[in-house]
Amino acid sequence: MLPGSLTDAETDAIAEEQRFLDRAVARRDRLTEHLRDELEAAVADELGVARQRMLRRQHEELVRARDGLVFGRLDALDGTVRHVGRVGLRDEDETADPLLLDWRAPAARPFYTATAIDPQGQARRRHVRTAGAVVTGVNDEPLDGAGDTGLVGEGALLAALDERRTGRMSTAIATLQREQDDIVRAEATGPLIVQGGPGTGKTVVALHRVAYLLVTHRQMAEQAVLVLGPSARFLEYIGQVLPALGETAVVSATCDTLVPGVVVGREEDRAVSEIKGRALWQAVFDRYVGAMVPRARHLRLRWAGEDYVIGGAVVTQIVASATQGRSYHRARAVFAEQLHLVLAEAVAEQREAMLAAMEEGFEDILARVDRGLPGGHVGASASDVDGLLSEEEIEELRERIAEDAAIARFVEFWWPTREPAAALRELLSDPAALRRFAPELSPEEIAQVVADRAPVAADEAQVVADQALVVADKGPAPRAAAGTSTEAAGQAADADDPRGTGEPRPWAAGDIPLLDALADLLGESGPETPPPGGSVAEHARRQRGWVYGHVVVDEAQELSEMQWQMVLRRCPTRSITAVGDIDQAEASHRHTSWAQAVQATLGERWTAAELTICYRTPREVMALTGPVLERAGSHNTPPRAVRSAGIEPWELTVTPQTLLENAEQSVAALRQRWAGGTVGVVAPVSRVGALRVALPDVPVLTATQAKGLEWDATLVVDPQGIAAEPRGWNGLYVALTRCTQELGQLALAP
């Protein structure tokens, strides 16, 4: 709004809010300086790490609140006035009410939830628009019941939606709607599955929920929060939202990047991806790892020149005790500890027998025994009296046995360490092993899985060499299991490597959840040492087994059952918020409802919520989606669009020969009409490459890649081609709903 068009009342309101903003900025600056001084003093005095972390977090939050510090005001029926902003600011008089309410505070909730029908004790809500430290406008809403639309702050909301897109998601704390705020502040006592169609603000809600939970449940900040998105492009798109809200104890990732040191280096067939995504693999790996545990039998060990036999019954008991509820490698470590103790006791018992025999004249036997005992000779100890070793001497003997290289080699031979990547490759490339451990799979499905691990053709060698490989697989070859020759073990390890480079076939996306599940059952093969230094988020990012305080999953409809298992392993408390649109699912799994999607992992223990209002996509575009959803097999009601762009979607029919030329012309026209905003192109996989060459300065994506993104204008190229892809009608639904203003389509002539 131009200054000359302001009424006297609007000018006065802006001046009033400017005075308050000046006061809030000054207070923020003083508090920032005070916290900086406190932090420096805490570091100098070497105060506790927890206090330093708290002070640093508070200081950084105030520094980041430079923009949008104040964005709202509530005038209560009793005359009380409260301002709402990105952070809370206490007044100079600490006994007084806060100068500025944090948007996450309970007292600020009416700013998002009060309506004319339910004013919640409020007479007026005011949205305050700012640019830096300058108030640029206000939007007042009397809460007197006149003309209620059900939207909170409708004028401010629609103004925000009409702004040009920038390619990065902005915060929406000034315009959250009631149904969105209900989800943001919902209890975090279990899995919450949020269904929301295009433009309903699913991602905004999920990220603001993270910010809210990290303030309400401070322990989550100590454990970090994991945000899972569908792609690296999507994570970049949302990357500034949480820092802008003042939260940094957050790890963002995709399912493909959850296992440290592992990258996806190739595509896989959809049918194979669907097979690998099934929950049955959890039981498969239970059997597979269980079979790795050696069968109990009597063991013959040599210590200090003498042979000792540990009976089969004792070994059986130790193995059973060690494997109870433990991972493979943890059970192996417990077994080794018990074996060392049993051997020490066997040595002590044999010594006792020899000492008894000494009384009959066998001094030479005693001398030979002493050479293997602590101290190397019989000294003045309790054992001189009755021939028995004390508990301290037995413990010292056990420690010497545990440090003995020959004993360690014996344990490694009998119960070898296993490397998860090598173990997974062996299983997936062995039809006999799959028939044994995965009886749920049909012969045809087993053949598909094995073929997926088939050697790389010679003409593909350079392509594969250029792809990212699993870092962990570049270490030494796995040891052969007991009863397996070194030659046979080498052949198994090289099965994926016909080029003889030492580099196995790259992983596909469907392999990552399998590798994660197997790594979890195998456990760490050595002691876990936390990495030095860094934030909580940095520690969490570097450790596969990190347990998070909360997990947010965006585009959750794309997760396979095995990917859901990955989520649960990282948050066993099931404090999970998953948002998505089941009608936009394009993954290879066959789920068409949330109940089907989460049944194998969550059962019935989850809560459903729904976002029903489409704020982003114009009514003119949403009117096109009904037939598309019907062809996709949807049984859901599309969200209700609340705004009109005033621009009807258009479609141009072109020939394959002129497609690229028409695309260039259409994009140029859209960019001119939406100067200062963004334009995106969505096309079938088969046409993306050529379009990217023709349109180097415009994002050209498949429907899958475009999921979760938005532009001012979208050009959908060859919609028939998108619909013909696997789950293509779902993909076309995604493509059509990416714009906030204008939609164009280039259809191919029959």
Kindly indicate the confidence band of residue 546, based on its pLDDT and cuts at 50, 70 and 90: very high
DSSP states of 565-591? HHHHHH-TT--EEEEE-GGG--SSS--
Residue 200 vs residues 179, 385, 613, 615: alpha-carbon distances, Å: 10, 84, 6, 6
| 735: helix, strand or coil | helix
Query: Dihedral, CA atoms, 254, 707, 713, 112, nearest 10 degrees?
Result: -80
- How many Å apart are CA 50 and CA 48, to the nearest integer? 5
Domain end position, chosen among 155, 179, 209: 155
Residue pLDDT, tens place only, 619-637: 999 999 999 999 998 888 8
DSSP states of 192-248? EEEEE-TTS-HHHHHHHHHHHHHHH-THHHHH-EEEE-S-HHHHHHHTTHHHHTT--
109 vs 298, higher pLDDT: 298
- How many Å apart are CA 347 and CA 372, to the nearest integer? 9
CB 102 within 8 A of CB 108: yes
The answer to the question of whether 203 is labelled as a binding residue is yes
State percent of the chain over pLDDT 90.
Answer: 50
The answer to the question of whether 200 is labelled as a binding residue is yes
The answer to whether residue 530 scores a pLDDT higher than 80 is: no
How are beta strands 299-303 and 306-310 bridged, if at all?
antiparallel
Residue type for 213, please?
L
Residue 264, strand partner residues: 507
**Considering the domain boundaries, does residue 184 fall inside one?**
no
Shared domain check, 150 and 1: yes
514 vs 128, higher pLDDT: 514
636: CATH? 3.40.50.300
The answer to whether residue 300 scores a pLDDT higher than 90 is: yes
**Considering the domain boundaries, does residue 89 fall inside one?**
yes
The answer to the question of whether 197 is labelled as a binding residue is yes
Domain end position, chosen among 135, 155, 175: 155
Residue pLDDT, tens place only, 701-736: 999 889 878 899 999 999 999 999 999 999 999 999
Residue pLDDT, tens place only, 362-421: 556 555 666 566 655 544 444 444 557 788 888 899 999 999 999 999 999 999 999 999
The answer to the question of whether 198 is labelled as a binding residue is yes
pLDDT of residue 151: 43
| Predicted TM-score of the model (pTM) | 0.72
The answer to the question of whether 633 is labelled as a binding residue is no
> Which residue range is the domain that position 642 belongs to?
616-748
Of 220-234, 354-368, 381-395, the poorest mean pLDDT is in 354-368
**Considering the domain boundaries, does residue 47 fall inside one?**
yes
**Considering the domain boundaries, does residue 265 fall inside one?**
no
Domain count along the chain: 3
Arithmetic mean of pLDDT over the chain: 82
CB 73 within 8 A of CB 19: no
- How many Å apart are CA 446 and CA 434, to the nearest integer? 7
**Considering the domain boundaries, does residue 647 fall inside one?**
yes
pLDDT of residue 217: 83
**Considering the domain boundaries, does residue 119 fall inside one?**
yes
pLDDT of residue 158: 46
Residue pLDDT, tens place only, 436-472: 999 999 999 999 999 998 765 544 444 433 333 322 2
**Considering the domain boundaries, does residue 90 fall inside one?**
yes
- The full 3-state SS of 232-300, as one line of letters, equals HHHHHHHCCHHHHCCCCCEEEECHHHCCCCCCECCCCCHHHHHHHCCCHHHHHHHHHHHHHCCCCCCEE
What is residue 510's DSSP assignment?
A: T
pLDDT of residue 482: 32
pLDDT of residue 750: 84
Domain end position, chosen among 114, 137, 155: 155
CB 240 within 8 A of CB 169: yes
- How many Å apart are CA 716 and CA 744, to the nearest integer? 6
pLDDT of residue 376: 54
The answer to the question of whether 199 is labelled as a binding residue is yes
pLDDT of residue 469: 30
Residue 133 tokens read as 């430290």
Run of H or E residues at 366: helix 363-370
**Considering the domain boundaries, does residue 138 fall inside one?**
yes
